[in-house]
Structure 1
Amino acid sequence: MSVPFADEPIAEPTFAPREGSPVETVILGRSRDLGGFAVRRALPAPGRRMVGPFIFLDQMGPADFAPGEGLDVRPHPHIGLATVTYLFEGSISHRDSLGSVKTIEPGAVNWMSAGRGIAHSERTGGEARAHGQRLSGLQMWVALPKDHEDAAPFFASHEASDLPVLADRLHSVRVVVGAAYGVSSPVTSGWDTLYLDVALEPTARLPVDADAEERAIYIASGVIEIAGDRFEAGQLLILRPGDPITLTALTAARLVVVGGATMDGPRHIWWNFVASSKDRIEAAKADWKAGRFAAVPGENEFIPLPE
């Protein structure tokens, strides 16, 4: 899912917790209403463009679609990034210019690496549209390493049953990308990447180690506490490097832990394009406007280049 924006942050300004907190910075996600479907964006933000390779973080919904209604994101292009779509509720049908067709459901992950260029659409599928559904989840982008920016695009999907889950009465941790707590995800990222989906019951405590060079916690729902400070839904917490923490759920909470190695240099963002070079973005803009991206089979619409 994408919302047009130029090469500038659009999350709310950040603030620092009390001195000595293991949380370095708090970013307040900014919510936008896309015709009855709310999207809250936490990255990029003023003063913080990336956490590890993660350069874009949107929380989608929750939104309730009545029968006959649904999501319709027409074909649009990407370069220089991988989209990572992960749902808590509902389903989305993905189609791309490679010919991939996949319905993603909760707990599964779609990883679409754009490389030198790909186009895709995201829509509510026929059955979900007919019956109506509640939709919520996250879409993130990870920047591709410089030596992969112009690689061939590819699409990979992993079912929920493919991803390791550690669970007990108070905790559920799914390792979506990377490794944690002694288990590893089968998702191939091409960069040192960490992505954990965490559901906690009230009073649950979760240690977050400091193995990843950069780490952040995004709170999708609920309230948590870290070192005596209280944090709420819609906040992205940037953790201090090298500082292991333990968080406590004050209510039932859903959150993700994301991060990884520091990226190999800054990135530019314009609309749906990410690149280490502004010239590469200008070329992609011209290619989409001129119709030089491969089409998405079965689709007759597209999103024009923003003017």
Structure 2
Amino acid sequence: MSNIGLIIEERSRDIGDFLVGRLIPFRKKRMIGPFIFIDHMGPTTLGPTNYMEVDQHPHIGLSTLTYLLDGEIMHEDSIGTKQRIQPGSVNWMVAGKGVSHSERTPQDLRNGKQFVAHGYQIWVALPKELEEIDPEFHHIAADELPKWTDGTAEFTLVAGEGYGRKSSVPVHSPLFMIEVKNTAEYHLNTKDHLKGEIGICIVEGAIEACGEVVEKGNILVSKVEDTCQTILKPNSHILLFGGEPFAEERYIHWNFVSADKDKIERAKEAWKAKTFPMMENDQTYVPLP
């Protein structure tokens, strides 16, 4: 997914142990562990005339994690990947020193019918020493991800490690992304189960933290390791994410992420000159903003 425009830093507020905002990065918190950007796609109705059409665009210095809740996307990239992603599975693309890709509604779904598209596109910064690695692509099916139940809550470990389990998504630094869905009220305990900074993305429902109720569409960022009690209201759906932060600052411009501003400048010039790694069978091109 292309971050086409400038990132708008949403206003954040402080409720005690947590900062609350709409998306990351926001003003008071640029990253959560190695997570640098979260794009909430939808929910939106596609078809019969409007479909997802994200043309060829570049990335460096990060991994993209695509996680769908509804709908399907066809991913193609400059290393030859062509992969359909469906709800519950993970597309993990390591951009490294440079990759281009596109994301579109699959041809067989352009059949005159309508469907809902909903999911998250997430950028995870690479460790500084790995920013120049060769691009990779990995697809992990939904049934390959660790799942478990605790009381009224169902857990899926999307990526990284947590709650004594490990996902098969080949991450490059200590991190976690966990989906939690509950029916009745559920007291969420993260202490000793997750390492590093913790973010909570509320997909549906609401949670209570530090005596305040926070509704869906918000992200909470823990300011302390041992946070106040977090209560999921009935029929909620959240994503836990975060991990160990990097020692160095990360810079972001459009779709480029790096600990080195010069690398971003070189990537910008290469994309403008079309000397950046390009897809063989796709002549589309999203210009540098």
**Where does residue 113 of structure 1 map in the other structure?**
94
User: What number of residue pairs does the alignment pair up?
Assistant: 287
Pairwise CA distance, 1:240: 2.9
Matched, 1:46 2:27: yes
* Matches of 1:128 and 1:69, distance apart in 2: 11
1:229 is displaced (CA, Å) by 1.7
Whether 2:196 is the aligned partner of 1:198: answer no
Amino acid at match of 1:260: G
Identity %: 37
- Per the alignment, residue 295 of structure 1 pairs with 278
| 1:33 equivalent in structure 2 | none
Paired AA for residue 138 in structure 2: A
Q: TM-score, normalised by structure 1?
A: 0.89
Equivalent position of 2:110 in the other structure: 129
Aligned residue for 2:37, secondary structure, equals strand
> 8 Å contact 1:49–1:55 — kept in the other structure?
yes
Tell me the distance in 1 between the aligned counterparts of 2:2 and 2:204: 22
The alignment partner of 2:110 has SS state of: helix
Give TM-score scaled by structure 2 length.
Answer: 0.94
**Separation in 1 of the partners of 2:43 and 2:25?**
21
Q: Establish whether residue 86 from structure 1 lines up as the match of residue 67 from structure 2.
A: yes
CA contact 2:175–2:196 (8 Å) conserved in 1: no
Alignment partners' CA distance in 1, 2:165 and 2:259:
33
> Which stretches in structure 1 are left out of the alignment for 5+ residues?
30-41
User: Could you tell me whether the CA contact under 8 Å between 2:185 and 2:233 is conserved in 1?
Assistant: yes
Offset of residue 164 of structure 1: 0.7
* Cα pair distance change 1:68/1:297, threshold 3 Å: farther
Does residue 180 in structure 1 map to residue 180 in structure 2?
A: no
| 2:64 is equivalent to residue 64 of structure 1 | no
**Which amino acid is the alignment partner of residue 67 of structure 1?**
P
Matched, 1:209 2:207: no
Quick check: 1:257 aligned with 2:240?
A: yes
Partner of residue 15, structure 1: 13
Q: Distance in 1 between matches of 2:106 and 2:261?
A: 36
| C-alpha distance 265-180 of structure 1, shift in aligned 2 (>3 A) | same
Q: Partner letter of residue 96 of structure 2?
A: G
Of 141, 158, 161, the residue aligned with 2:123 is 141
RMSD value over aligned CA atoms? 1.6
Gaps of 5+ in 2: none
Q: Which moved more, 1:240-249 or 1:144-153?
A: 240-249
Instruction: Note the C-alpha offset of 1:303.
Output: 0.5
1:146-190 residue CA offsets vs partner (Å, 9 max, x unmatched): 111111111111000110111367211110112222221111111
Q: Is the 8 A contact 1:69 1:132 kept in 2?
A: no
The 2-side partners of 1:243 and 1:119 are apart by 40
- Aligned 8 A contact 1:213 1:241 in 2: no
Letter in structure 2 aligned against 1:98 = I
User: Residues of 2 paired with 1:5 and 1:70: CA distance?
Assistant: 20
